[in-house]
Every structure is written in structure tokens, then in C-alpha cells.
Chain A
């Protein structure tokens, strides 16, 4: 059984690679098939698929309005102007 699995199915390492590659390139039908065969049998990689999708969506939603240490605009301007001689 193990040998069959090795020949037809991806390892978890390879499966996670393809799960992420999917967001960039279309997988070949063969890649898609082998990936499907793996994820239907592997709880951990099914969980990974859900989670990496969530992360992908969350990154898309990231708003660049982080004000944790905002630029002090007036002192930034003063600093730059000081460096411009003439």
C-alpha cells in the first residue's frame, strides 16, 4: 500500500507546495489529480488547504492603515529639507 501511495500520491511536502502554487499558476491535470488524491486522504493537508486559503484572503484584505508608529510628517519634512543644501 505504501508503494502504491508513493507512486501515485504526493508527499505532504509536495502537496503543500502545489496548494500554494495553485494561486499563481494553473496546475496541470496530472498535478491536480495527484493533489486531489493526496488531500482526500490527508487530514493535515486538507486543514492546510483551508488555512492557506484563509491567509491568502486575509492578506488581500490587509489595509495599509497601520498607525502603530506613524511618520511624524512635519519632522520628516524638516529632516529632508535640512539635507537639501542650496
Chain B
């Protein structure tokens, strides 16, 4: 009879599947460290849950389902925090009448569609993204790096659609300012 040693089996799966799991986790979270932590947690959970693994199942599929749950939990934790309107962020951009503050007003950009293919511009955008608060960055990651639509994301994450696009809105205000300072006006 074939006695399976869970630890040895999982260690083998680490060799076989780390790369593909890391690639997926990175694609979803856009953060190397987060991706590595989530994949490591996936393997450790797999050891604990090995008794649930059906022998004739595909290991990769099973590991991916564990990983996807961990990715969802990761987003859910951060996105649970409610958006407060008077938290001092918007005041940096608009005065009490809702008009653009002079120093925050958008200036004309010399930009065309070709810029989208410019690697350095993409890098600048990436750097600006890294500076966002983590909850906002996650909203961006969910919107742009997840194939589901906004409504489904909101349902799954248990946040209101209005909270979700408020996060996106704030992120775009911040990204716009960052790009203006670091790329267009440099």
C-alpha cells in the first residue's frame, strides 16, 4: 500500500509549482514580497489541509484554490476600512467651495497615446503606484488586474461599490499629481 508522507509530497510540489504560483500571486498583487508571503502561506496551509486533498485531483488546481482564497483574504482585510470624507485628503486638492486649489490645479500635459508604450513612463507610473496607501493600491489592483467586473469584486470583497470607486477616485487624484510632478513637469 502506498503511504503518502504529506510533508515530502508538499516539498515536491514546492519545487514543481512555486514558479507558477508566484507568477499568479505577483500578477494579482503587484508586490513581490506580498506574493512570496502568500505563496509560502499557501504551501504551509496545504500541509495542514492535506487530508482534504483528493488523491486523484490535480495538485496545481488545489494549490491555486488555496492561493486564491489567501489573495482574497489579503484584499478583504485592507478594503474593509470605510472611507471617511473629511479625513483630510481631499482638502489638499479642493478648497471649501470644491474648487481646485491653485497649487493642485491640473496643468496641460504634453501627452499622446504613444506615451502608453513608453517603458519609462510605465515605470514612473509604477513608482507612483507604490506610493499609494495600501488599501487604495489594492482597489487599483482589483480593478485593473482582476478579470471580474467592479460589481462582482464588490460583492466578493463585501465593500460597497461607492466605497470602491471612491478609493479608485482618490488613487487617480494622487497618481495624477505624482505623474505631473515626476514626469510631465520634470
List B residues 1-25 near A (Cβ within 8 Å).
Answer: 5-8, 10-11, 14-15, 18-19, 22
Contact A83–B90 (Cβ < 8 Å)? no
Q: What's the dominant secondary structure at chain A's contact region?
A: helix
B47 within 8 A of A: yes
Interchain Cβ contacts within 8 Å, total number: 137
Which of B40, B100, B108 is the one whose CB lies under 8 Å from A83? B40
Any A CB within 8 A of the CB of B43 = yes
Could you tell me if A71 and B172 are in contact, using CB atoms closer than 8 angstroms? Answer: no
Which of A11, A16, A17, A57 is most buried by chain B, counting CB atoms within 10 A of its CB? A16
Q: Is B115 a contact partner of A54 (Cβ separation < 8 A)?
A: yes
Asked if B116 CB lies within 8 Å of chain A CBs, one says: yes
Report 11 cross-chain contacts, Cβ distance below 8 Å, ordered by A residue. A23-B168, A57-B113, A58-B122, A61-B122, A64-B30, A73-B18, A76-B18, A76-B36, A80-B43, A81-B11, A84-B10
By a beta-carbon cutoff of 8 Å, the part of chain B in contact with chain A is 5-8, 10-11, 14-15, 18-19, 22, 26-27, 30, 32, 35-36, 39-40, 43-44, 47, 90, 93-94, 97-100, 105-109, 111, 113, 115-117, 121-122, 125-126, 140, 143-145, 150, 161, 164-165, 168-169, 172-173, 175-176, 179-180
Q: Using A50-B111, A58-B115, A86-B7 as known contacts, list a sample of 6 further A-B pairs with CB atoms less than 8 Å apart, ordered by residue number in A.
A: A17-B169, A55-B172, A60-B144, A61-B117, A63-B122, A64-B27
Residues of A at under 8 Å CB distance from B? 10-14, 16-17, 20-21, 23-25, 44-45, 47-48, 50-52, 54-64, 66, 69-71, 73, 76-77, 79-81, 83-86
